[in-house]
Amino acid sequence: MRILLTNDDGIFAPGMQVMMDFARRLGDVVVYAPKTEQSGKSHAIEIHQPFTVEPVTLPQGIQGYSVDSTPADCVRYALLGRHEPVDLVLSGVNRGPNIGMDIIYSGTVGAIFEAAALGVKGIAISTGFETFATAVEQLDNVWTYFTQRKLLDKCGHYNVNIPENYTGTIRITRQGGPYYSDEFPTCGDNLYMPTGICVHRDQGDLSLDTDAVINGHISITPITVDRTNAAVYEMLR
């Protein structure tokens, strides 16, 4: 299996090293990741100006490319620009959870949506803000869960969150509601800085990725790029 790695924290971020250590046990690995942090860039791509792509030396002899653009562009360039033969895209390990409505902003998940648009299977993986230790411990277990249940045969794209306070349960979940929101305090001179605040209210519903992760469960959510409201479509049709 040939695996493309990307992220939104930057090619030299600690989570990329975690992902490389994990992915090289699964198959051949190549890395196309942003030159600088691209958190919150969602599925954005650059269409107005050229961007640089430079080869970089990564540990374990893995070939890497530093892309001065978004995670989605990293996937686009690898698949459309370099025609990389890829079986699976892994995005992460992201520093900080990507759960609930926040996945629409996530560059980590945006890379997987781009993989989906280009017909390649993909998994986005995130953990907490403080440490990658639990992710390091649990990535093999998560992969075993995927392979034993043939999840990638049932759906090609998933969003996975590994909480730092993992209690030992892996759950299939659905996207929850709002988790973060923002306030916009002034910095003076007509400048305003978005400042994240948590707005999640735990309902104890472990079918939701938000509630599952907050309560210490690993969350695996099947995701899709199809934004059609199927129920309304059927009603109107």
Contacts for 228 with CB less than 8 Å, ≥ 6 apart: none
Mean pLDDT lowest for which of 13-22, 94-103, 181-190? 181-190
Please list the alpha-helical segments (H only) found in 71-229: 71-76, 107-117, 133-148, 151-154, 209-214
C-alpha triplet 127, 94, 158: angle, nearest 5°: 80
Q: How many CA atoms lie within 13 A of 105 on its CB side?
A: 15
d(CA 6, CA 124): 9
As a whole number, mean pLDDT of residues 75-97 equals: 97
Buried b (16+ CB within 10 A) or exposed e, 107-123: bbbbbbbbbbeeebbbb
**What pTM, to 2 d.p., does this model score?**
0.95
Q: Which is the CATH superfamily of the domain at 2-177+203-236?
A: Survival protein SurE-like phosphatase/nucleotidase (3.40.1210.10)
Q: Which pLDDT score, from 0 to 100, does residue 179 have?
A: 86
Tokens of 235: 């009603």
As a whole number, mean pLDDT of residues 165-181 equals: 92
pLDDT tens for 27-44 read 999 999 999 999 999 999
107 pLDDT band (50/70/90 cuts)?
Answer: very high
Res. 97: pLDDT tops 90: yes
Tokens of 181: 């929101």
Q: Which pLDDT score, from 0 to 100, does residue 182 have?
A: 84
Contacts for 83 with CB less than 8 Å, ≥ 6 apart: none
Tokens of 116: 């989906």
192 pLDDT band (50/70/90 cuts)?
Answer: confident
pLDDT tens for 126-166 read 999 999 999 999 999 999 999 999 999 999 999 999 999 99
Helix 14-23 with 133-148: angle, nearest 10 deg = 40
Q: Which pLDDT score, from 0 to 100, does residue 199 have?
A: 86
Q: Which pLDDT score, from 0 to 100, does residue 198 have?
A: 84
Looking only at the bridges linking them, the beta strands covering 88-94 and 121-127 are: parallel
Res. 84: pLDDT tops 90: yes
Q: Which pLDDT score, from 0 to 100, does residue 184 have?
A: 87
Q: What is the DSSP letter of 61?
A: G
The string of DSSP codes covering 81-114 is IS----SEEEEEEESS---GGGGGT-HHHHHHHH
Q: Which of 104, 99, 100, 48 is nearest to 73 (CA)?
A: 48
Mean pLDDT lowest for which of 63-67, 84-88, 199-203? 199-203
Which amino acid makes up residue 92? G
Residues 188/133, Cβ–Cβ less than 8 Å: no
pLDDT tens for 223-235 read 999 999 999 999 9
